[in-house]
Structure 1
Amino acid sequence: MRVLTALPIHNEAAYVKSVLSELLTHTREVLAVDDGSNDATPNLLRGFPQVKVIRHPVNLGYGASLRSAFAFALQHGYDALATIDCDGQHQPSLIAQLVTALTTTSADIVSGSRYLSHHPGDARPPEDRRRINLNITQTLNQLFGWRLTDAFCGFKVYRREALERFDITENGYAMPLQLWVQAYRWNLRIHEEPVPLIYLEEARAFGGALDNPAIRLNHYLDVLRGELERQGLHHLLGRSEASLTP
């Protein structure tokens, strides 16, 4: 199986060198999507000529970066795409575990879960992130009859056939809501694989109004409702009407 590993990157000069150095010890096919970085990230990426690079001239958002990675993987004939964040919170050594799960479970998407099991040294996430993740995860489960435990982990492996189904239009951090709705629509098989819960000490901003947890949750629910409508699944809204109301 030919697997590409992609990293969405925006202003990660503090981490990009160490993450890529470790990543290249575990996989040879790496794509960096530089989403309009204006720090030292572009210069640091030039130090890794073996890494393929897509550069967005301006910052478009997390969802736009993954959309570029999806398109690249399809265009260049990869069988699967792994996605991993470039902030030190995911462990490149676990990519092989997720890829193996893709084949042994016949899944279309293997999604890392930080809550499926406990790992020694697991961190405690910021309370607002934990609460919003729990809210959205429970809502998805009620809507679709799933048993997800982590709706927002960016550490995933996608089978090519899954990538071919996606029509992602959400540029920002709400992109996973579109992904899950479309996965349900196309009856994609999902498997969660446990990964450690790692959070860095410094604060990470979502940007603008989304730094407010209440506004962020409202935005996620709006995107979820909108995607259900767009995919012709509005009839499911009654299954979780309470959860879709902040």
Structure 2
Amino acid sequence: MDAKNKNDFTDTWLVVPCYNEGTVIREVLENALQTFPNIVAVNDGSPDNSAAEIHAAGAHLVNHPVNLGQGAAIQTGIEYARAQPGAKYFVTFDADGQHQVKDVVTMVERLRKEPLDIIVGTRFGRPRKETDQVPLIKRIVLRTVVLLSPKTRKLGLTDAHNGLRVFNQKVAQELNIRMNGMSHASEIVDQIAQKGWRISEEPVDILYTEYSMSKGQSLLNGVNILADGFLARRLP
């Protein structure tokens, strides 16, 4: 992407939670920085070299002294990004290379033009043959989450646990993630419903590599996410 197009996204901040991603985080960030010049990566107490690799890539670095969980890392990153002058759009973006910059571009441009507050990615917005990229066990977990979540169904979401989200200042200011672990995704859905944010989905491509799959959610972890999600809805 040329410099002119890069400058078009100076009002956009990518928030990248990171835990033990030292082998890939630098490449992920350097690739994203070619399009999005403003990225904050939150090193969530990683014992590996993640912090050094984030710094070397040229992204903004925020360190948690101990591991607090992905939800806490995202909240920290959003708070950092929303405090920056000129920040209008915010993106949650995974550190393991699964998310695609081209999808972020599409989602940000939609948010600029459409009367929406938040757009979330979906792995299930295209014909079935194109969603076969999603491993079977993950499809089962994700479909189960939707089936067991009335708010997810009411909002018309098909992939509530997709970590790729783009949202505006209103959402960035009002979002308050209290579930520190992976169950933050269910909590975000609850807040979307409660606060009445205008939402839509965008079909996205998820790059499943041997590395990213080794860090993925098992069926048991999916059940834990559901349990934590119910707990999130009971919080005052």
TM range, normalised to the smaller chain? 0.7 to 0.9
1:92-107 matches, within 5 Å, as 92-107=101-116
Q: Distance in 2 between matches of 1:120 and 1:212?
A: 23
1:220 counterpart (211, 215, 225): 225
Q: In the alignment, does 2:200 pair up with 1:191? A: yes
Give the structure 2 partner of residue 70 of structure 1. 78
Q: What's the TM-score once normalised by structure 1's chain length? A: 0.82
Query: What secondary structure does 1:34 align onto?
Result: strand
Query: What secondary structure does 1:164 align onto?
Result: helix
Give the structure 2 partner of residue 55 of structure 1. 63
Q: Distance in 2 between matches of 1:34 and 1:111?
A: 23
**Structure 1: gaps spanning 5 or more residues:** 232-246
**Structure 2: gaps spanning 5 or more residues:** 1-8
Work out whether residues 63 and 170 of structure 1, in 8 Å CA contact, stay in contact via their aligned partners in 2: yes
Letter in 1 for 2:114: T
Q: Distance in 2 between matches of 1:41 and 1:20?
A: 12
Q: What's the TM-score once normalised by structure 2's chain length? A: 0.85
Q: Distance in 1 between matches of 2:151 and 2:131?
A: 27
Question: How has the CA–CA distance of structure 1 residues 35 and 100 changed in structure 2, closer, same or farther, with 3 Å as cutoff?
Answer: same
Work out whether residues 70 and 163 of structure 1, in 8 Å CA contact, stay in contact via their aligned partners in 2: yes
More helix per residue: 1 or 2?
2
Work out whether residues 55 and 61 of structure 2, in 8 Å CA contact, stay in contact via their aligned partners in 1: no
Question: How has the CA–CA distance of structure 1 residues 103 and 213 changed in structure 2, closer, same or farther, with 3 Å as cutoff?
Answer: same
1:76 deviates by: 2.2
Deviation digits for residues 71-124 of structure 1, max 9, x if unmatched?
Answer: 112222421211111111111232221101112222111111111114987663
Work out whether residues 40 and 81 of structure 2, in 8 Å CA contact, stay in contact via their aligned partners in 1: no
* RMSD, aligned CA: 2.3
Give the structure 1 partner of residue 235 of structure 2. 230
Work out whether residues 73 and 80 of structure 1, in 8 Å CA contact, stay in contact via their aligned partners in 2: no
Q: Distance in 2 between matches of 1:28 and 1:142?
A: 35
Query: What secondary structure does 2:81 align onto?
Result: helix
1:227 deviates by: 2.8
Give the structure 2 partner of residue 234 of structure 1. none
Query: What secondary structure does 2:43 align onto?
Result: strand
Question: How has the CA–CA distance of structure 1 residues 18 and 217 changed in structure 2, closer, same or farther, with 3 Å as cutoff?
Answer: closer
- Between 1:146-155 and 1:170-179, the stretch displaced more is 146-155
Work out whether residues 177 and 188 of structure 2, in 8 Å CA contact, stay in contact via their aligned partners in 1: yes
Deviation digits for residues 169-219 of structure 1, max 9, x if unmatched?
Answer: 11111101111001100111111111113211244346xxxx7624x3443
| Length, aligned pairs only | 225
Question: How has the CA–CA distance of structure 1 residues 212 and 148 changed in structure 2, closer, same or farther, with 3 Å as cutoff?
Answer: closer
Deviation digits for residues 123-155 of structure 1, max 9, x if unmatched?
Answer: 633333221111112333566522211111111
2:53 counterpart (31, 44, 60): 44
Work out whether residues 119 and 196 of structure 1, in 8 Å CA contact, stay in contact via their aligned partners in 2: no
